[in-house]
Structure 1
Amino acid sequence: MAEADSMKLDGPQRAALFFLTIGQDRAAEVLKHMSPKEVQQIGAAMAELRNITMPMVEDVLGKFVDDIRNQTALGINSEEYIRNLLTQALGADKASSVCDRILLGRNSKGLEQLKWMDPRAVADLIRLEHPQVIAIILSLLDSDQAAETLSHLPEKLRPDVIMRIATLTGVQPAALRELDDIMEKQLSGNTNVKSSTLGGIETAANILNFIESNVEASIMDQISDIDPDLSQKIQDKMFVFDDLIDVDDRGIQTLLREVSTDSLLLALRGADDALKEKIFSNMSRRAAEMLRDDLEAAPPARLSEVEAAQKEILAIARRMAEAGELSLGGGGDELI
């Protein structure tokens, strides 16, 4: 019974239960080597844990011990092993927005501390900086946090910032340290900045992938008016409707439960055959046959209407990806 209960816990919850059992000091030692997003997700899971029984704890710890026994016992770095194990359990870039930043946030300084701040607070802090400075700062943040921060900046500023991110090929370490000093004075912090590779087309595209569809469209329209070639390069790197073919079957099934039949019917009018078959194969036979018949019988639709339906579905997919309910990269990550 207890084992069955523990099986209901997802990866972050099992990791959270593990941390709660090893003690505050040991947990803090492990957590300080993890990324802000991982710590936030584990912290949120800790806050949500309810009705935990001792047999459930024993089951989670038992599985952890089994994993340890399968590893080489000689010379193993337990902290590094735990970090790798929990990173695998949590997956990459699946953390949803968490209001309360925990544990290490108060010890992070300078530019690094921005990762622990609410996006609206980050926007308020940098909105008066030069657009190039804003571009560098957003490039340092995770894409979802950068996207939400961008959405809180003045509308006229957004296209300029995205264009600067897309054309940013790197920053001199000295310039980055100077920027860190500025943030240090405002946040009473300091940090060692080692990386100078920031920005680029892919970074800009990743940020836009997390922005609401209507905001994204507005930004891309303005960039297209200014620099059509750059706009196309960014668009080429963005997650588009046909890229849903890379989502695993379980993810497609989860997505379909959130999408209306009318929107799906309209969106598939502009999809390639491979994606259509992917969708059909993840529906019941009867539902797939009905959808095929509706597609064949449907009257012509405006391209703008088809694109709007596709953007609506993509917005749902991005929201679900942020919540960790599906992986836009396909081949979903395993959870412990």
Structure 2
Amino acid sequence: MGMMAPIAEPAELKRYSGLQRAATLMLALGQEHGAPIWELLSMEEIKELSSCISYLGRVPAAVVEHLLLLFSSEVSSMATLHGSFDSAERLLVGVLPPDRVREIMEDIRGPSGRTMWDKLSNVSETVLAGYLKNEYPQTIAVILQKLRADHAARVLSELPGDLGTDVIMRMLRMDTVQKDVIQEVEQTLKSEFMGNLARSQRRDPHEAIAEVFNALDRTTEEQMLAALDDRAPESADRIRALMFTFEDLGKLLPAAVQVVVRNSNKRELALALKGAPDDIKQLFLGAMSQRAGKLMQDDMAAMGPVRARDCEEAQANLVRLTKNLGDRGEILLVDSKSDDAMIY
């Protein structure tokens, strides 16, 4: 067999880790060709690979073709693969006994696809603690163990002192929780708590409107607020206080600015800063290396005159990026309603 000419590595391949490449390969091989390989893997390796397949998402055809070059000469006609919980489960069903498949998929997904616990982690700690304080300490301990550590800590601090201590003691003594216990707790939370969550939260409508206004272009936002000033001035003032605006970027800590800069589109950042007040401009340039700051200033100068509308759109996108980073807890935002810094 003659030597094959080396094929150029697709640029997208660099985004995939070794584990993701292995997951793509196993997904592409399918049940028939992949079975001998799956049988040689340990339980932990199967879990790791299956988990990676579950979160793989869409894989470009060029990546699949490159990874399968030695396995198939016909893969070039393949469009894309799509890794998901379902495709991972279908793949395992033809390879492993049903009980092992169920155990692996539950370990990846959680008993109810983790959606219950994801939702619970987004519930205000005050609301959640208000519900949990009427539950048995053992039940509270099970729930807190399933939450993110930061959210569990906030819920714990909202519980009455004696109850909080009792819950901690039970968490310390708790062994591995049986799946049927977790499922029972989940079912109770779904039927008794999540169903009534909307009434429990009583979210201030001004907060929802402030989020909508944050997403508006500046001209429409100013028109809406001006109209509200005439008809409901108190509401307009409250919405302004709740909004996170471009001017609020000036209150970011330098470390947060560095994260925003790293995550931003540099061309769009230059456009946003070109029309920014000097304090914000200097804050962002100061968060860059000397060379990067000089390049950014050169980019702004090279733009020449720009339309105010384009500048405002770039600034709105920068605000949206900053808010998203704050919502994910990756940066520290300053709450416009107080002088304290807090993570949103």
TM value normalised by structure 1 = 0.41
TM value normalised by structure 2 = 0.40
Q: Which has the larger radius of gyration?
A: 2
